[in-house]
Structure 1
Amino acid sequence: MRWTIKPKPEQESIDQLSEALGVDDLVAQLLLQRGISDYEEAKAFFRPELSHLHDPFLMKDMSKAVERIEQAMANEENIMVYGDYDVDGTTSVALVSSFLMETYPNVATYIPDRYAEGYGISFQGIDFAADNDIGLMIALDCGIKAIDQIRYAKEKGVDVIVCDHHRPGQELPDAVAVLDPKQQDCFYPYKELCGCGVGFKLIQALGSKQGKTIDDLILYLDLVATAIAADIVPITGENRVLAHYGLLVINENPRTGIKALIDQTKKRELTITDVVFIIAPRINAAGRMKHGQHAVALLVETDIDQAQQFASEIELFNTERRSLDQEITQEALVQIQENGEEEKFTSVVYNENWHKGVIGIVASRLTETYYRPTLVFTKSGDKLAASARSVKGFDIYNALEGCSDCLEQFGGHMYAAGLTLLEEQYEAFKNQFEKVVSESIDPILLKPEISVDAKISMHQITPKLMRILKQFAPFGPGNMTPVFMAEGLKDTGYARGVGEGEKHLKCSVYQPGSNPIGGIGFNLGNKLDVVKRIKPFDAVFSLDENEWNGTVSLQLKLRDIR
């Protein structure tokens, strides 16, 4: 790991913010590093308000979208709410369909089959709409690149509203309305909404025409917060407000389906991290292992007994997903080693029998192991499909654009993408992708980085600091958990390996003159010798609370030691 210490803001700025807020220099420094430089910005950060949300009609085509939906309702047309099979897609479909059905009965939902139809708007889905006399289709978390599909829908007499957040291509689809804040000529003030966030702006706009206020829509924010967490969008600006209030709903009054999922996990209060690692994988498991419609059914269910039945089924899907994920990851690692590809700039692996539902997770696992841009391919119909994952600082979407002559289609973000190609193009693509990455990546990006907010001494770690840091939440991209570095630490003699195979490190550390503080380092059991030596060591960590027998104490959540 390479440790990178963020530049410290100018002392004058620290002093001014410290005085304005009545906080110490360390807290002022952390705020300045997050772009917060005065009292009003700090107030908005620490006290998110629903009034901070932007007017949905600032989004390009919002008026067109609302008018077309109102027209469909007035004419008693059938409406189909369509979304992808992942968390962002299924929560979006649950959100918009349940909102519409509060006042309008003719609403169907459609999630494409991951295997038969693939990602995005499918021709099969459009045929379903046409065959079932559906006049309007609302596509969520997809559609921005579905040029041919939306042209086909038009020929079939199906109007389409696109609600997406992915990067548009050169050409936009010929839809009734295209809601996507990343369009160049869309001047919506916040660009980083997830698909469910764009869906929420749509119901906010529709609701305002029906006399509803933002307070009437709060109960939908558990879905939005779940999608924000799962899609790993920045938790800044509007997303921070949506995530903050969504977490309150999740913890205080979640919808029946989410409550059924939480009941299975026995967790009390969930953080964004818990949503990422507990709720999101279970919702995802439905689309990965069976069908995304199972997730929608759970998320719109209002009967607790039925919801618990759905949640139990999804728990089984998730158990199966975990087993497959481990098995395929192992096979992929063996493939890289047997092909002698450990020293390459990329990892590209393929097996026609790998389960398409877990290749994205496997790509993430391989990236953790070899830390380089990674693609995992499997057979999908008569083509190959892949999930791509990147490393911090490298835009994998741009790299795929550099190989587009080998691809059938692709889409995604800077750090994650999906693509399909013809089997005969696989080797050419693999070589070209390696070439593009090797020529464009800064080699330093191939070493994992820990970004350190500040150097601190142990006496600065107090319950008061912890109370303030907890108010920095919800954490995520753009507002990561503060990471600190302390130098010259010594072990009290308590250090030991814990867990299966003693792969984790538990210790108690101090600096001369400071009180000892406990620490836990997951997967740092191999650093035990460094800690037990008589020589002092440095550590990078975040702050955490450890609850044991009803007593809460501060602890260091160790990230690395040297």
Structure 2
Amino acid sequence: MTGRKYKNMITSTYDWKINTKEPDAGFFKLAKEHGLAETAAKIAYERGITTEENIEDFLKADLSHLHDPYLLHDMDKAVARIRQAIENYEQILVYGDYDADGMTSASIVKEALEMMGAEVRVYLPNRFTDGYGPNESVYKYFIEQEGISLIVTVDNGVAGNEAIAYAQEQGVDVIVTDHHSMPAQLPDAYAIVHPEHPDAEYPFKYLAGCGVAFKLATALLETIPTEMLDLVAIGTIADMVSLTDENRIMVKVGLEILKTTERIGLQELLRISDVDPTTISEETVGFKLAPQLNALGRLDDPNPAIELLTGFDDEEAQAIALNINAKK
């Protein structure tokens, strides 16, 4: 996985590893038995789908095939600390990112925590004044002025050594949930939930930030929150991660949910983008919805994205969506 890139073109955040070996006749026969045409079989093989079990998983996209969230490093610690915070009526800050993945990640964790009765604040940093990742001055404000005693980062954190050290010194625990490249020195956080953490063997390394957030939500709620998969689909596609393994499962199911989403903000984004919900696909999300959300991240304040994705006020959702459309 490579670092974050800022260019005027669409670039993947991952270094793709393509299987250059040609599939043999046996694989084509197997693929045909499962209804895959030769071209589709070749593409599947290049993506590492080389066995009958792989093919079946690829075609089924069954939520029961999602990996256990507790296989992620420190998930047990993260869940226990969050539950403790809720029981003690602590103020929790969810600290996200200003792109579509960060927005959906923050929205997922916010919804999960609120379902558990938590007191939650959400903050998406200003890309111009706060920069990317944990920011010490922002942490200081929320700790001193808002009484925050637990910070949960989403789609960022593994490179936030200084800000996280500051928070921990103030007696404020920081739970990092992230998917970006692991630095040589990890922050001294209370917990680090990351699919590539060297001290755990999570089966799939290519979750987006929203995928990691969804895993946390699943562990906290003790069930798969299917209704949040529309957000997972948007964030995963927007971040251009590998659409294999559980990413493919979550995106496939999430796109179906998105077609009938009850989220007023998403309905409004679809409307102003002239998208028929019944035709939603990976391309629709990648070239219509994700750019709309990323446009909001380029404004002075990206935080209205949270209200857009999780709120229930028709007029406010319409106003935010129209503002996004004007700034694209």
TM-score (norm: length of structure 2):
0.88
2:249 and 2:147 mapped to 1: Cα distance?
Answer: 39
Residues 22, 64 of structure 1: alpha-carbon distance in 2 compared, 3 angstrom cutoff = closer
CA contact (8 A) 2:89 2:118 kept: no
Does 2:185 correspond to 1:171? yes
2:36 and 2:171 mapped to 1: Cα distance?
Answer: 61
Match of 1:292 in 2: 302
Unaligned runs of 5+ in 2: 1-17
How big is the shift at 1:278? Answer: 0.7
1:112 and 1:40 mapped to 2: Cα distance?
Answer: 42
CA contact (8 A) 2:127 2:298 kept: yes
1:535-558, Cα deviation, whole Å (9 max, x unpaired): xxxxxxxxxxxxxxxxxxxxxxxx
Q: What is the 5 A alignment of 1:392-407?
A: none
Match of 2:231 in 1: 223
Match of 2:65 in 1: 52
Partner secondary structure for residue 253 of structure 1:
coil
CA contact (8 A) 2:19 2:46 kept: no
CA contact (8 A) 1:142 1:164 kept: yes
Match of 1:514 in 2: none
2:30 and 2:93 mapped to 1: Cα distance?
Answer: 54
Match of 2:29 in 1: 15
Match of 1:118 in 2: 131
1:366-418, Cα deviation, whole Å (9 max, x unpaired): xxxxxxxxxxxxxxxxxxxxxxxxxxxxxxxxxxxxxxxxxxxxxxxxxxxxx
Residues 15, 152 of structure 1: alpha-carbon distance in 2 compared, 3 angstrom cutoff = same
Partner secondary structure for residue 289 of structure 1:
coil
1:409-447, Cα deviation, whole Å (9 max, x unpaired): xxxxxxxxxxxxxxxxxxxxxxxxxxxxxxxxxxxxxxx
Q: What is the 5 A alignment of 1:330-349?
A: none
Match of 1:241 in 2: 249
Does 2:250 correspond to 1:261? no
Which of 290, 297, 317 does residue 307 from structure 1 map onto?
317
1:13-69, Cα deviation, whole Å (9 max, x unpaired): 323543x43655555444433333444322221120010101101111000000000
1:317 and 1:11 mapped to 2: Cα distance?
Answer: 52
Q: What is the 5 A alignment of 1:363-402?
A: none
Residues 134, 25 of structure 1: alpha-carbon distance in 2 compared, 3 angstrom cutoff = closer
> CA-atom RMSD, angstroms?
2.0
Q: What is the 5 A alignment of 1:79-90?
A: 79-90=92-103
Q: Which has the higher strand share?
A: 1
1:129-179, Cα deviation, whole Å (9 max, x unpaired): 211111100011111011111111112221100000011111111111100
CA contact (8 A) 1:15 1:25 kept: no
CA contact (8 A) 1:167 1:183 kept: no
2:119 and 2:41 mapped to 1: Cα distance?
Answer: 53
Larger RCO: Structure 1 or Structure 2 (Cα < 8 Å, ≥ 6 residues apart)?
2
CA contact (8 A) 1:14 1:32 kept: no
Residues 28, 108 of structure 1: alpha-carbon distance in 2 compared, 3 angstrom cutoff = closer
Partner secondary structure for residue 299 of structure 2:
helix
CA contact (8 A) 2:19 2:45 kept: no
1:29 and 1:281 mapped to 2: Cα distance?
Answer: 31
Match of 2:173 in 1: 159
Match of 2:159 in 1: 145
How big is the shift at 1:194? Answer: 0.7
How big is the shift at 1:279? Answer: 0.6
* Number of matched pairs: 308
How big is the shift at 1:5? Answer: 12
1:197 and 1:241 mapped to 2: Cα distance?
Answer: 11
Residues 218, 10 of structure 1: alpha-carbon distance in 2 compared, 3 angstrom cutoff = same
TM-score (norm: length of structure 1):
0.53
Which of 215, 218, 221 does residue 204 from structure 1 map onto?
218
Partner secondary structure for residue 296 of structure 2:
helix
CA contact (8 A) 1:114 1:288 kept: yes
Q: Which has the higher helix share?
A: 2
Residues 110, 16 of structure 1: alpha-carbon distance in 2 compared, 3 angstrom cutoff = closer
Q: What is the 5 A alignment of 1:60-71?
A: 60-71=73-84
2:19 and 2:195 mapped to 1: Cα distance?
Answer: 33
Aligned AA (2:273)? T
1:40 and 1:160 mapped to 2: Cα distance?
Answer: 39
CA contact (8 A) 1:17 1:38 kept: no
Residues 294, 72 of structure 1: alpha-carbon distance in 2 compared, 3 angstrom cutoff = same
Residues 23, 158 of structure 1: alpha-carbon distance in 2 compared, 3 angstrom cutoff = closer
2:153 and 2:52 mapped to 1: Cα distance?
Answer: 41
CA contact (8 A) 1:84 1:112 kept: yes
2:238 and 2:40 mapped to 1: Cα distance?
Answer: 28
How big is the shift at 1:127? Answer: 0.8
Residues 193, 5 of structure 1: alpha-carbon distance in 2 compared, 3 angstrom cutoff = closer
Residues 251, 5 of structure 1: alpha-carbon distance in 2 compared, 3 angstrom cutoff = same
1:91-117, Cα deviation, whole Å (9 max, x unpaired): 111111122112325111111121111
How big is the shift at 1:7? Answer: 5.2
Match of 1:94 in 2: 107
Residues 42, 108 of structure 1: alpha-carbon distance in 2 compared, 3 angstrom cutoff = same
Residues 245, 126 of structure 1: alpha-carbon distance in 2 compared, 3 angstrom cutoff = same
